[in-house]
Chains A and B, each alone.
Chain A
């Protein structure tokens, strides 16, 4: 059953300039993205810096206002709701941020931070708040005496656990994890990832996992969306990405992954060219400036995202047209 359905979502940031600060242009951060997330699934979003993946995550939770498009969460269109009307939704969907240094208010103790959230949404009866906080800290692997401490007294990994605890405090169904491990040491990354996996099982969460690391995504997710300059260029299941990836950009991302075997050497294919500016994107496919398979048509028209296998959609003119009947 579909929990989240996104339909042709667009987010443009106006650029103001001149004496009267008129809108002189737009940064195209998310361009007509559509996808569905079934309940209980973990969907990965991958792409390089500035491709709009974090913006997408924030627009989904209405932390940023979408320019157009629909976000349907459990049969309710979020884009039609006011800030106040969104409150019930706020306890069902949460976010875990990238930077553990700025994701916790430095002036609030752990207990104060969690209590505020729990009381606001009346998650447990008032008398049980303290007990619930203790449980919650236990769940994310923090000692109970963390309650009275301030964020600066913890390490990066611990702070990320606290960020996860805050997201979990409202007993959400859906969590956007916005690069939750990319600011952490590799050894800590694995711990936090395992914690997220365990919690996902325990609370039967639906996850949207944003990362720039395909290996982490392949390990962690059921399906992955590959984004480039605000467009989804490929959507594929995570069973065997290495074999299934069709889009030249996805293949380039895979090729850029280091292999942890010194005997297995290969030629490194580095993408040439520059990423076009999202302020002034090309008319056709966004990848034209760097694509090894570029054709004339690519410059004129954006290829549609076409289904090529069950659960596998690719947007590329250079590939064979999809076989009929695969709709």
Chain B
């Protein structure tokens, strides 16, 4: 079966289309990452964890001297406060953690000495009138950073690699890893894309095909439904539906046990809102295609054989419209991801954990301050996926078009 498909005309046409192959590889990578995240590669807790000072730039880029000094002071301050509570010192120190970094297991006197040394340098530095512009102060800043670093237990080789990866794209305002948040959002986006596109294409195809095939009142009802829905501006409908569900709690009992689902905090409002608007596209296309196919002679031949109407629809008509379903699936997949971003940006989408929309909406304040790493990362992650899918959809359309060589 697979071998047969690989030798088919469509497959050969596809593999000749080089950008499409690249796009397929990119999408496979995204899918692999999504699966890895799903299997626990990145947990939601990790994306919410403070791993360092806020708004660190990516790729260990340069920062203003003033910010470097302030970041150190914040750490010194936390350690100092913990040291002032000797009754449960261990617990207080244990609370200070930046991702994998833990306070070093040293006697409190040594830690106190390090903190005092740090404060001395800090005091000197803040005295200086022009901290940012004076390069002669750099050695002192570096020394302050080294001292702060010594407060923490050294990382093993693997651990420091992991930490470097997490810091690769910098941190957001709350010191959370932009890399982890971006990667975790791949899972969120693909989950929303796949589920929404699948349900929409399924509903759209079934309604569209039945409308065209059975005609009469079925056709009237379906056309009325989709013309009505498509006369409402899509974003408004999306917002209204998402808003209507946002506070909802579903209560029902399963096997005698009462269950309540806090719908507002799940992705269900997003799915409902997206599917309710997205099924229209495939429905219209599949209805048109079914109208065309049902006139074809092989369908009449099936009727002349006496097959049941449903059998003819499922066996002779739908398989011949399958390429349109596939193309619509990939179109809706992109649409869903983009709409999720818009909804999340408006605060109606993802409620718990990160997503690209959440990242972009959170980065508003950062952009004003001239920090572009979070919005940049979210945009690039999304851009690459959407671009790859666009190229793939384009290629699929060519591949399935018998008139295109």
Contact = CB atoms under 8 A, between A and B. Distances in A.
Q: Which of B300, B309, B316, B319 has the most CB of A within 10 A?
A: B300
B36 interface: no
Interface stretch (A92-100, A133-141, A222-230): A92-100
Interface in B313-328: 315-316, 319-320
B320 A105 contact: yes
B316 A63 contact: no
Q: Which of B300, B303, B304, B320 has the most CB of A within 10 A?
A: B304
Given A99-B297, A102-B298, A117 B316 contact: no
A120 B306 contact: yes
A215 interface: no
A101 B158 CA distance: 64
B298 A63 contact: no
Given A102-B296, A106-B320, A107-B319, A97 B305 contact: no
B301 A87 contact: no
Nearest to B220: A21
A102 B305 CA distance: 16
Nearest to A113: B298
Contacts of B307: 116, 120
Interface string B307-347: 10100000110011000000000000000000000000000
B303 A63 contact: yes
Interface in A219-275: none
Contacts of B305: 90, 94, 116-117, 120-121, 170
A103 B301 contact: yes
A58 B301 CA distance: 10
Nearest to B4: A148
Nearest to B306: A90
A285 interface: no
A53 interface: no
B295 to A, nearest CB: 9
Interface string A168-200: 001000000000000000000000000000000
Contacts of B316: 105
Interface string B263-302: 0000000000000000000000000000000001110111
A150 B307 CA distance: 21
A104 interface: yes
Contacts, number: 50
Contacts of B315: 116
B304 A104 contact: no
A61 B301 CA distance: 11
A262 B297 CA distance: 40
Given A102-B296, A102-B297, A103-B298, A63 B320 contact: no
Interface string A156-170: 000000010010001
A95 B299 CA distance: 12
Given A97-B297, A97-B300, A102-B296, A107 B306 contact: no
B93 to A, nearest CB: 69
Interface string A68-106: 000000000000000100110011011101110011111
B320 A95 contact: no
Nearest to B296: A102
Contacts of B300: 58, 63, 95, 97
B297 to A, nearest CB: 4
B301 A97 contact: yes
Contact of B306 (A87, A95, A102, A106): A87
Q: Is the interface of B mostly helix, strand, loop or mixed?
A: helix
A89 to B, nearest CB: 8
Nearest to B298: A105
Interface residues of A, number: 27
Contacts of A166: 301
Contacts of A86: 306
Nearest to A178: B297
B304 A63 contact: yes
A159 B309 CA distance: 25
Contacts of B320: 105-107
Given A86-B306, A90-B306, A120-B306, A95 B301 contact: yes
Contacts of B304: 61, 63, 90, 93-95
A90 B303 CA distance: 9
A86 B304 CA distance: 10
A105 B314 CA distance: 13
B372 to A, nearest CB: 51
Contacts of A95: 300-301, 304
B314 to A, nearest CB: 12
A106 B316 CA distance: 9
Contacts of A102: 296-298
A170 B296 CA distance: 21
Nearest to B305: A117
A319 B304 CA distance: 41
A153 B309 CA distance: 28
Nearest to A96: B301
Nearest to A117: B305
A102 B307 CA distance: 18
A182 to B, nearest CB: 13
A91 B298 CA distance: 16
Contacts of A170: 305
A201 to B, nearest CB: 23
A90 B39 CA distance: 55
A82 to B, nearest CB: 12
Contacts of B301: 95, 97, 103, 163, 166
Nearest to A58: B300
A92 to B, nearest CB: 11
A105 B297 CA distance: 9
Nearest to B299: A105
A103 B297 contact: yes
Contacts of B309: 83
Leading 6 A-B pairs by shortest Cβ distance: A90-B306, A103-B297, A97-B297, A105-B298, A87-B306, A107-B319
Interface of A: 58, 61, 63, 83, 86-87, 90-91, 93-95, 97-99, 102-107, 116-117, 120-121, 163, 166, 170
18 contacts: A63-B300, A63-B303, A86-B306, A87-B306, A90-B304, A90-B305, A90-B306, A93-B304, A95-B300, A97-B297, A97-B301, A103-B296, A104-B298, A105-B316, A106-B320, A116-B315, A120-B305, A120-B307
Given A93-B304, A103-B296, 6 more contacts: A86-B306, A90-B304, A103-B298, A116-B305, A120-B307, A166-B301
